[in-house]
Structure 1
């Protein structure tokens, strides 16, 4: 019997894939399957997949498809899952060797629908950039998990709760649009307080630019509200944890006209869905700088807001380049 199926979407990650698959085939939990979905890669990723399929024929299964993105690859891979539990792993990340054994034991021992582990951010030099989703209690509520993290990759799911839910194709924030709907179906969430999932913070992240797709976060919240499982107060609280980072991403839009249109639409969404004062009262600020910037957004002072954020971003890139 397959205890855990791991679905790995793969697209042009020849530089990172070997490390990801090595840590999967060498898991201390033996009864697992690794479902590799090649999402139309044009590099040497398929050669690496073929090698692992040859060397580990009982564990590694490979499938190819036309490029359709992360969500499409996860949905595609799930149809081949035969395990009792399911995990999703990004192909440039890796998990600790006892990750699946520990999480599976927790799930079965406590009869949990979902088990969460901590995530460690690591750069390409191997530097530990810090961890999150480390909870102090052996189990948590749905709301506690979602406020801390909406990632799909540090969760072990009982297969049945995934059966009628798919990741939305073609939008950003696919995890945010999906994980709350899955969690809404579960009864118990268990915790393994170890950073078993290693998220690779790639060097190209600092130079990434954005576009109006940052507004897909509004689509994600429409998905969340449509499941009718969370209170208005909690949805407002959850949105308050994401709006600041959405504004930071808007600042990375190169087209200034598009940038201000995005801010305008975000402002109008807040005004219509929550009310400006209502959302302001829900935000817990991490510092004075964030409080100042959000105050400018709520006052509709977009030009000054973008000038300050642009200056801060330039300083950040200079500091990163000197490390």
Structure 2
């Protein structure tokens, strides 16, 4: 029996697919199967998928579907998954040769629901790789090869982990009830945060198990279209909605507020007109509204961690106060629009 399903979501990444597939064939761990999911790609990946399925029928399963976006791929693949664990390997990225062996060994020894590793950033121009611990080291220091138990103060530190799918081995059980959005990006955030709220045990390793191509045109790190901004907002609104039945900790809501601020500070990069920009800022406030009822949970952690000046801190707390939120956001929005440069 295979232990791991490697999910490879494929859309318009023809030039990268072979490198990804070959990295999987080099794995020192053998008990895995690859779900190569063609999400209605207009490129020629299907012929490559067919080639690997024909050569390695015990390793590769080719799946073709109509285009539905990243979340639809995860939804389909997780529902079809027949192994206790799964991992996502985006086709423009690849795994270290011993990635699966290391992550599975840790998962089985610790009985962890999620096993998380570090990663390397790599670049399209072939420059040197950069090590990334996969969490915000400015706020915490994660213990290596140590089990984090849900409900403890130490578990809160895991919310500083980068939610990207790289180097994350999931038990299928923690993700099978997630309702994924279709036709949008950023759904890896939904997978991580809801799984983290569902998990009982998590373990972290500082070994870099994945290589992440960060500057490919069109990925979520570089996509500045209005549609991409809408997707980012919708995913985080959905995360808050789906978390309600999982009794989220205070740290979860604090991290959601920090996610709002991250999106806000990214909005000036958007391509478009000032009219479109205002529409997206109005949309972003819908996310803020979902956080207002949790002000009392966010505020203590915010006060401890906030690094901005007095005015920023005051504004943020006024934003989360129901009586002053809309007025405060209107001031923020007006300033952002004034400074926005149409592209």
Q: Same fold (TM over 0.5)?
A: yes
Q: How far apart are 1:187 and its partner, in Å?
A: 1.5
The yes-or-no answer on 1:238 pairing with 2:255 is yes
- Alpha-carbon distance in 1 for matches of 2:201, 2:163: 16
Structure 1 pair 208–272 and aligned structure 2 pair: CA distance change class (3 A): closer
Of 168, 182, 186 in structure 2, the residue corresponding to residue 173 of structure 1 is: 186
String of CA shifts for 1:24-54, please: whole Å, max 9, x gaps. Answer: 1110001111111111122121111122112
- Alpha-carbon distance in 1 for matches of 2:119, 2:84: 23
- Alpha-carbon distance in 2 for matches of 1:79, 1:272: 29
- Alpha-carbon distance in 2 for matches of 1:32, 1:186: 22
Instruction: Name the residue aligned to 1:321.
Output: none
Of 236, 240, 243 in structure 2, the residue corresponding to residue 222 of structure 1 is: 240
Q: How far apart are 1:238 and its partner, in Å?
A: 0.9
Matches within 5 A, 1:114-263: 114-127=114-127, 128-133=129-134, 135-139=142-146, 140=148, 142-204=155-217, 206=222, 208-211=224-227, 212-231=230-249, 233-251=250-268, 252-263=270-281
Instruction: Name the residue aligned to 1:320.
Output: none
Structure 1 pair 126–64 and aligned structure 2 pair: CA distance change class (3 A): same
| Cα RMSD for the two superposed structures | 3.2
Structure 1 pair 275–258 and aligned structure 2 pair: CA distance change class (3 A): farther
Where does structure 1 lack aligned partners over 5 or more consecutive residues? 315-323
Deviates more, 1:238-247 or 1:213-222: 213-222
Where does structure 2 lack aligned partners over 5 or more consecutive residues? 136-141, 149-153, 320-327
Structure 1 pair 286–173 and aligned structure 2 pair: CA distance change class (3 A): farther
1:184 aligned counterpart, secondary structure: helix
Kept in 2, the 8 Å contact 1:28–1:98? The answer is yes
2:217 aligned counterpart, secondary structure: helix
Deviates more, 1:301-310 or 1:103-112: 301-310
TM-score normalized with structure 1 length: 0.82
Deviates more, 1:144-153 or 1:112-121: 144-153
TM-score normalized with structure 2 length: 0.78
Kept in 1, the 8 Å contact 2:114–2:202? The answer is yes
1:204 aligned counterpart, secondary structure: coil
Number of corresponding residues? 309
Structure 1 pair 23–201 and aligned structure 2 pair: CA distance change class (3 A): same
String of CA shifts for 1:162-188, please: whole Å, max 9, x gaps. Answer: 333342323443223332222222211
Structure 1 stretches (4+) deviating beyond 6 angstroms?
275-278
- Alpha-carbon distance in 1 for matches of 2:263, 2:2: 40
Deviates more, 1:94-103 or 1:141-150: 141-150
Structure 1 pair 191–44 and aligned structure 2 pair: CA distance change class (3 A): same
